[in-house]
Chain A
Amino acid sequence: MTTAPETSRRQRREAAASSNGKAADRKNGAGAKRTNRAKSEARLGWLIAGPAFFIMLAVTAYPIAQAIYDSMFSFRLTSPDDRSFVFLQNYMTILSDTEVFWSALGVTVLVTVVTVAVELVLGFALALVMHKALKRIRGPLRTAILVPYGIITVVSAFAWYYMFDINSGFVNNWFGWVPGIDSDLDWFANFGTAITVIMASEIWKTTPFIALLLLAGLAQVPDELVEAAKVDGASWRQQMTRVILPNMKAAIMVAVLFRALDAFRIFDNVFIMTNGAANTEVLSLLAYRTSIGRLEIGLGSAVSVILFVCVLLICFIAIKFFKVDLASGTDAKGGK
């Protein structure tokens, strides 16, 4: 049995609940259920992703930590007993070496900037072609454009090397009519020509990658916007700069970041074509030659750590200053 005041309180409560509607629902019973569900989902998430997370830790974090530790020793593989702790001495040696380290860093930055810039332009042109291509030829066209990217880098490096090599190459014969090219031109003897061939092979191989990323970006630009711009009488150039490019910003920035990181770690092309001769040494080659060639584990680890820091720096700059949104289009930021 309920008393009158009690009844009226309950009625008021119910009335308030019904007026608050969904908000009240969320706060009371339904909310508690969701929390439990969220918890079990999180548990399931860990169960599924946990092994991958620990494997990632084992294969990336552990070697990085080991490299940082090793970089503080003077340690040569063929002289295991002479291992001594030198703290940051290896880094000082590297950073004070203008001729080798800073030159290698300069070449690496040059390759990164030039190849990414050229690839961006070419890649965008290819993406436009693929986007506009007739449906019938779209498939074969994409496949054709993707072929260079499917070739293993070492293989493409050898192909380019043999093409330009003065003894076996055909470039000097075929392009003898171009000013500056004659049968006596040894492409790999001078910095200018050698780095040009290296960068050209890099551009040839990875432009399709950028083209694909940009094609995805192009496909995301809403047709209505372009139509509206056309109706408003915008020229092709205006459509590009005012509508298409701004709407593709995320895709462009992701393409630039990925390629910049890739280009900064360039190794195969230089290794095959010049092996660092004619001042074409890059950071990864320096790291390889120091740790694997010279078997100087300490010094080599220090070069690798510096290379790693440079890569982190590129990521940081891109994400912080250019606002690259790596989570765009995914659910990763849904909770934010």
Chain B
Amino acid sequence: MGESQGSPRRGRKVRAAGTALAAALLLSGCSDSGDVPVLTWYINPDDGGQATLAQLCTEEAEGAYEIRTSLLPADAPSQREQLARRLAANDSSLDIMSLDPPFIPELAEPGFLAPVPEDVAERTTEDTLEGALAGAMWNDELVTVPFWANTQLLWYRESVVEEAGLDMDEPVTWDQVIETAMEQEKLLGVQGTRAESMTVWVNALVESQGESILANPEAPAVDLQTNLDTEVGSRAAEVISLIGSEGLAGPGVASMDENQSMLLFQGDSGSFMVNWPFVWAATNAAAEEGVVDEGLVDDIGWAQYPRVVEDTASAPPLGGINLGVGADSENQELAFEAIECIVAPENQTEYFITNGNPPSSEAAYEDPALEDDFPMADAIREALENAAPRPQTPFYNEISTAIQQEFTPISGVSAEQTPAQTDAFIVEVLRGERLL
């Protein structure tokens, strides 16, 4: 009897001791950096550049704060989903977030982002390139801080343009690009897969004609008006349709993303390609490893994004990452302090050199070290000045998905029907009359 009563008592003692030990361990774990506030920075995957910057700024802060990074999913839509869910659930761990520009209005509109203090806004956007600045705003207010910006260039094979007699110092049009590829029986590197890249392409074609996909981007869902069923939309669809119906992007265009179009461009039938600057570092690396022909790198040239209309400058796609602070973060002031450190021009230059992502700050391009690794840095800066963001609205995801569905596969795009169908589709979806 005595034994049977004694056992549970001993068990309780052991459990109590265990709990105390666990609590002590936990507390000591917390007090490890207890005095220094920890800022969590949700980063998109890169080559380690953001983690390095986090460490650098932690050191610079000299104990004022510590930045720890937390990795988001690989693709932008999944990043958006995770951030939106966390923000909607009032997660206070979202101190700093790396945000893709098209998703900013959707998070800013419901008040998920902490307002950027005026002085921070002033200091961090002094010399931000125009395109990048436009992508950081919502309702004429700066809601995020530009960190790095991205844009597409027209990449070409010197051998192909030489044979075609094209002067690449002068702006070229989509018609010229298509014609050259057809004449020489070469393939074009475009992104025809049903993904975000399709919206990027359609938007750039519309913006390059001086128009936008949305007539009133700040309107509520039921009042949003689209601009595709116009001559501008029809012309955009015509370019895509021609490439699709002539098979100019190769047989695998329906599943061709940025990486696939780069591989096509690197091949023997490559001629032109619209793509982000990552292709330069990737091609150089492939040449070094012997995966592609050594002479390929010398055969690659770059120019501004092709024009749709001969006398209107192109508006290249805008990408990149901006930094936002969660509205429920308990360390908002410190977070903005940390952001100021992260986006300092010298850090942006370093990030460009090490990770290949172009700066949003004009001053960051002045570093002569850039010239060696990125001889096209000036072209990127110029493109970023003209770059146009994708439709900036809280309903971007719906609009983008509708465009992707209607404009893929590109062989089925019709200049007469697709723009009108897309317009009708978007409006019906936004009014809740049909599914997406």
Q: How far is the CA of A299 from the CA of B432 in the complex (A)?
A: 9
Q: Is the CB of B251 within 8 A of A185?
A: yes
Q: Which of B37-45, B81-89, B161-169 contacts A (4 or more CB under 8 A)?
A: B81-89
Selected contact of A293 from candidates B401, B408, B432, B434, CB within 8 Å = B401
Residue of A nearest to B82 (CB): A292
Q: Is the CB of A184 within 8 A of B398?
A: no
In the complex, A166 has a CB within 8 A of chain B: yes
Chain A 157-195 interface 0/1 with B at a Cβ cutoff of 8 Å (1 = within): 000000001110000000000000001111011000000
Q: Is the CB of A166 within 8 A of B251?
A: yes
Could you tell me the distance in whole angstroms from the C-beta of A249 to the nearest C-beta in chain B?
A: 40
Instruction: Find residues 343-397 in chain B having any chain A CB closer than 8 Å to their own CB.
Output: 394, 397
Q: Which residues of A have CB within 8 Å of B84?
A: 77-78, 295
In the complex, A94 has a CB within 8 A of chain B: yes
In the complex, A230 has a CB within 8 A of chain B: no
For chains A and B in complex, what number of residue pairs have CB atoms within 8 angstroms?
88
Q: Which residues of B have CB within 8 Å of A183?
A: 251
- With A77-B85, A166-B251, A188-B254 as contacts: A278 and B110 at CB distance below 8 Å: no
Q: Is the CB of B435 within 8 A of A286?
A: yes
In the complex, A41 has a CB within 8 A of chain B: no
Selected contact of A78 from candidates B107, B253, B260, B409, CB within 8 Å = B107
Q: How far is the CA of A186 from the CA of B194 in the complex (A)?
A: 14
Chain A 43-87 interface 0/1 with B at a Cβ cutoff of 8 Å (1 = within): 000000000000000000000000000000010011111000000
Q: Which of A31-39, A97-105, A124-132 contacts B (4 or more CB under 8 A)?
A: A97-105
In the complex, A275 has a CB within 8 A of chain B: yes
Interface residues on A, range: 35 or more
Instruction: Find residues 402-436 in chain B having any chain A CB closer than 8 Å to their own CB.
Output: 408-409, 432-436
Could you tell me the distance in whole angstroms from the C-beta of B402 to the nearest C-beta in chain A?
A: 11
Most chain A CB atoms below 10 A, which of B107, B409, B435: B435
Selected contact of B255 from candidates A74, A78, A166, CB within 8 Å = A166
In the complex, B48 has a CB within 8 A of chain A: no
Q: Is the CB of B251 within 8 A of A184?
A: yes
Selected contact of B194 from candidates A77, A277, A299, CB within 8 Å = A277
Q: Is the CB of A78 within 8 A of B394?
A: yes
In the complex, B109 has a CB within 8 A of chain A: yes
Residue of A nearest to B264 (CB): A167
Q: Is the CB of A167 within 8 A of B255?
A: yes
Q: How far is the CA of A293 from the CA of B405 in the complex (A)?
A: 14
Q: Which residues of A have CB within 8 Å of B193?
A: 277
List 12 interface pairs A-B (beta carbons < 8 Å), by A numbering: A78-B112, A80-B110, A93-B435, A96-B434, A186-B251, A186-B253, A188-B255, A277-B254, A286-B435, A294-B401, A295-B81, A295-B397
Closest 4 CB pairs of A and B: A189-B254, A166-B252, A184-B251, A100-B435
